[in-house]
Each structure stands twice: as structure tokens, then as C-alpha cells.
């Protein structure tokens, strides 16, 4: 899921990482919005608000929206920078470090969020946007831009295009590729939706501690991936002997 890269990646690996990360993004999206009434998984709306505030000459509020955009960008930059840096030392664990950093950020916001909501809600928004920028860059690189998990606009666009193409593409190979791609989009949308429902239900009971579900999901994903790799290596050694 995280370890397989390049030609070693299969559609199954992309489905696994898509379901995990879109589930986490769904939780963050709803929990962040309920906590601070801001979008915390994408910056499309923030850019419109940024321009609107600048035209109204509300420069401070405009700067806040600029910070939202910047922190999402910074998360993406940091993720890619870490991947490039780590790949020069240990290629096997190149994507595990950014995922671990995302998990730690969600954990910190979960534990510190209750007091921060009142004192500095913008810090929560910036932290979650940074984490989602980190995740979006990570999954884009690991899947060769096949998977996006933090927002649905592009997903519904791609889904609409691919469903329309099913009426015209008759070749077996082309239809199989389209069905595989449609399945991937539907998995991402479904798990984003499931994450959102869980985020909404549990936020009403435990507040931002619901982010611990997302953090724990990422940690379990990393552990599962490493266990699977170790089992495969062990099996290869046994066969070689």
C-alpha cells in the first residue's frame, strides 16, 4: 500500500491507500468544519474568500485566508521534500515518514483542540490544512497521480467523464481500464462519505478527539503494510532455503 512504488504498484494497492486516506480525509473534513466552521481538506473555497476579502479591503481577514492556502501548499511541499530526502537514504520507507507526521499532527490537534478552538481556531484550521496538503501530495506521488483523497470536485469530474466513455468504448481492454478507474473513484467517494459520517457522529460526543480515529487508522495502515512486507520476505527466505 505505502511501500510498493512505480511498476510494482497495482490497482489493488491504489484501492487500499485510496480507501484508507479518503476515510481519514472524510473525518478531518467534517470534524474541522464542525470545530471551526472552516474547510480543512481543500483550498478552493478559501481562494474565493481571500479575493473577496481583499476587494472589501479587509486585509487582515484576507491574510487569514491566504494562510489557509499557504499551509495546504506548505504541507504538499513538506511531504514532497521529505520523500526526496528520505529516498536518497532508505527507499523502502520513503512514504511512511510523511504518513507518520500526518498522524502526529492529527493526534496533537485532537488532544489540544478543545482549548485552542476558543483561543485560536485559525491554528486548528492551518494545522489540518497542512496535514491534508501533506496527504494529498503523498498519495499523488505514490499513485502516479491516479488517486486524490482530500476533496471530491475532481473525483466527480473524472467519474462523470469515465461513465460517459462507457457508452462509446467497446474494446474489452479499454472497458476493463474504465471499470477499474470508475471502481477506484467510487471507493474514494464512499470512504470519504463514511469518514464524514463517523466524524459527524463522534464529534457530537467527543469533539476533536474524533481525529484520533483518523490518526489510529494511519498508524494501523503503516503497521499492516510493514507486517505484510515482513511476511513476504520471510516466505522468500524459506523458499530460497
User: Which residues are within 8 A (CB) of 216 and not within 5 positions of it... i.e. 6 or more apart?
Assistant: none
Mean pLDDT of the chain: 89
Query: Has residue 2 got a pLDDT over 80?
Result: no
Mean pLDDT of 214-236: 86
Cβ contact 210:31 at 8 Å: yes
Q: Residue 8 has what pLDDT? A: 63
Return d(Cα 191, Cα 188) in angstroms, integer.
Answer: 5
How many other CB atoms sit within 10 Å of the CB of residue 97?
17
Quote the distance between the C-alpha of residue 62 and its chain's center.
26
Confidence at residue 147, expressed as pLDDT on a 0 to 100 scale: 79
With contact defined as beta carbons under 8 Å apart, do 138 and 99 qualify? Answer: yes
- pLDDT value, residue 136: 92
pLDDT at 9 over 70: no
Q: How many residues comprise the chain?
A: 241
Query: Using one digit for the tens of pLDDT, what is the confidence trace for 84-112?
Result: 888 887 766 778 889 999 999 999 999 99
Please check whether the domain covering 6-228 is classified as CATH 1.20.1250. yes
Per-residue three-class SS string for 151-185: CCHHHHHHHHHHHHHCCCCCCHHHHHHHHHHHHHH
For the chain, percent of residues with pLDDT exceeding 90: 58
pLDDT tens digits, residue range 21-68? 999 999 999 999 999 999 999 898 999 999 999 999 999 999 999 999
Q: Does the pLDDT of residue 6 top 60, yes or no?
A: no
Question: What residue spans of 58-95 are helical by DSSP H?
Answer: 59-87
Q: What confidence tens digit (pLDDT) does each residue in 152-175 have?
A: 888 899 899 999 998 888 888 888
Amino acid at each position: 500500500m505505502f511501500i510498493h512504488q512505480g511498476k510494482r504498484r497495482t490497482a489493488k494497492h491504489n484501492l487500499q491507500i485510496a480507501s484508507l486516506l479518503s476515510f481519514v480525509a472524510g473525518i478531518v473534513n467534517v470534524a474541522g468544519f464542525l470545530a471551526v466552521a472552516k474547510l480543512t481538506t481543500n483550498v478552493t473555497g478559501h481562494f474565493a474568500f481571500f479575493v473577496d476579502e481583499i476587494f472589501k479591503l479587509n486585509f487582515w481577514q484576507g491574510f487569514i485566508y491566504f494562510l489557509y492556502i499557504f499551509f495546504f501548499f506548505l504541507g504538499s511541499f513538506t511531504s514532497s521534500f521529505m520523500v526526496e530526502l528520505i529516498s536518497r537514504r532508505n527507499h523502502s520507507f520513503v512514504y511512511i515518514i510523511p504518513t507518520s507526521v500526518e498522524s502526529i499532527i492529527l493526534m496533537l490537534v485532537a488532544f489540544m483542540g478543545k482549548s485552542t478552538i476558543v483561543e485560536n481556531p485559525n491554528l486548528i484550521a492551518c494545522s489540518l490544512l497542512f496535514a491534508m496538503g501533506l496527504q494529498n501530495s503523498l498519495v499523488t506521488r505514490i499513485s502516479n497521480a491516479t488517486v486524490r483523497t482530500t476533496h471530491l470536485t475532481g473525483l466527480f469530474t473524472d467519474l462523470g467523464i469515465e461513465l460517459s466513455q462507457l457508452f462509446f468504448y467497446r474494446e474489452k481492454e479499454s472497458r476493463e481500464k474504465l471499470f477499474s478507474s470508475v471502481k477506484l473513484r467510487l471507493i474514494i467517494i464512499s470512504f470519504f462519505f463514511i469518514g464524514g459520517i463517523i466524524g459527524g457522529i463522534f464529534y457530537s460526543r467527543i469533539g476533536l478527539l474524533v481525529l484520533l480515529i483518523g490518526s489510529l487508522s494511519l498508524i494501523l495502515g503503516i503497521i499492516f503494510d510493514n507486517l505484510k512486507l515482513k511476511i513476504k520476505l520471510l516466505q522468500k527466505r524459506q523458499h530460497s532455503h
